[in-house]
Amino acid sequence: MERRYFGTDGIRGRVGESPITPEFVMKLGWAAGRVLGTAKNSKVLIGKDTRISGYLLESALEAGLSAAGVNIRLLGPMPTPGIAYLTRTLHAQAGIVISASHNPFYDNGIKFFSGEGNKLADEVELAIEAELDKPMTTVDSALLGKADRVSGAEGRYIEFCKSTIPLSMNFRGLKIVVDCSHGATYNIAPYVFEELGADVVAVGVSPNGLNINKDVGSTCIGTLCKAVLEHQADLGLALDGDGDRIIMVDGKGNEVDGDELLYIIAKSRLQLHTLNGGVVGTLMSNLGLERALESLGIHFERTSVGDRYIMERLSKKGWVLGGEQSGHIICLDRTTTGDGIIAALQVLAEINRTGQSLHELASGMTKYPQLLVNVKIGSTKAEDIMGDDAVCEAVRQIEAEMGSRGRVLLRPSGTEPLIRVMIEGVDNKQVALLANQLADVVKSKVV
C-alpha cells in the first residue's frame, strides 16, 4: 500500500493547512492510540520542539489519545533523540515528536517512535493510516486516558548523553560555542558540555516560538562561524531545531559537515576496534568520504536520502555507523536514532583521545566540489518533473560530459515541495555551471 500521509520523516506541513490542522492531528492521535496503545494501561510520551504551534498540536494529540483510552506523559520541549531515549527507558508503548526539524517556525510535523526507541515500521504507519479512514469514536468515560507531565526529563537525557563517552573523560581546557538553533536543545546541550568540563559559549538559546532555526543552527552556520572566531574558541557545534543533526566549525572558522564528522567517528571506531563492519551513507554523501573510508579499508554503502533508509541498511548489515552530509549521524553502538549531541560527543572524545584539533582530524578527508540547488515546485508533482523527457535528457547529457569524474543526482525532497539538484565533480566552475543549467531545466517544468 502507498502512504498517503507519512513521508520519510513522519507527517509534516504548514500549520493550518492539511494535514497539519487541529482536526487532523486529533484524529491522528486517536488512530495512533488505537494501533500503538493496545496494551493494558498503555502510555504514550509526547515531546515537542519550541515552535509556537507545539502547544496547539500537543493538545490535539492529547485529546485524540485520551479518546482512544491511552494515557499520556508530557515531556515538554525535548530533542527528538531524547524522546526516543525516554520512550525506551520509561517503558512507554510509543513516543510522539511534534517538530518540523530544520524547517521554519510556521511548519510543524508529527513523527513516532516505537517502544524500543526506533522509528515505526512501514506496516505500523499503514495501520495508523487505515484507522484514519474510520469514524472517530470515544471509549467509555471510565476508560479515557489520563495525562500528566514527566518531571526531570531533561536531567535524565543529559546524563544519558554524558554516558556515551568514557566516564573518566572530560573536556577541560576546551572552549566550545554551542548553537542550539533556538530549538529543543536550548536547555540541554549547553549543560551536557559544561558538566563535562568545557568552557561553553551558548548561542541560539532564547526561543520565543517564532525564531527556531532563524539565522542560527545547523542550516545557517554563519552565526556559529562568527561566534567561534569572536570568542577565539577551539571549535563550535550547531544543532538543528529538534537536535537530531549536528554541523561543527573548527577553530579557524571552517565548516565540518556530516560527511567529515562521519569520517572522524569511523576512523576512531576503526582504531579502537569497535567499528563492527562498514559505514552507510546516502546518495548525497560526498565522493571524498567514500574514497577516504576506502583508503582506511572501511567498506562504504549508499542508500536513498533519509535516516529511515540508513537505519534499514545498518540493520540488514548488522553495522553500527551511518549518516548524512546534513549532519544526521547514527551511532547504533550508543543509541537507537540519529542524535546531534551524542555525535558531537564522539568527535570531542576523539579530540581528547588523540590530542588533535578538529581541523586536523577532518583533514584526513578531501571533499570533492559539490553544489546543491533546491528548486521550489509548488503544487507541481515531483514525479511529473522527474519523468519529463527534457529533464531526463539534460541529466544524460551532463552525465556524459562528466564521465567518471563526477556524479549527478536529481531527487524530490521528502519533507518539502522541492526538487534537489546536485552535481559533484573535480572542478568547481564546471560543477556550478552544470548544476545551475540542470536547475533551469527543472524550473521550466514547474507549472
Render 105-128 in DSSP notation, one character per residue: TTEEEEEEEETTSSBPPHHHHHHH
Helix, strand, or coil here: 243? coil
- 140's CB contacts (< 8 A; 6+ apart) are none
- Say if residues 327 and 263 touch (Cβ distance below 8 Å): no
Q: How far apart are CA 270 and CA 276, in angstroms?
A: 8
Q: Which stretches within 4-76 are classed as H helix?
A: 22-36, 53-67
- 37's CB contacts (< 8 A; 6+ apart) are 43, 44, 65, 68, 69, 70, 93, 94, 145
- Give 142's DSSP letter: G
Query: How many Å from the N-terminal Cα to the C-terminal Cα in the chain?
Result: 28
- Say if residues 290 and 300 touch (Cβ distance below 8 Å): yes
Choosing from 101, 181, 268, 326, the catalytic residue is: 101
Active site residue 101: yes
- Give 7's DSSP letter: B
Q: Which residues are catalytic?
A: 101
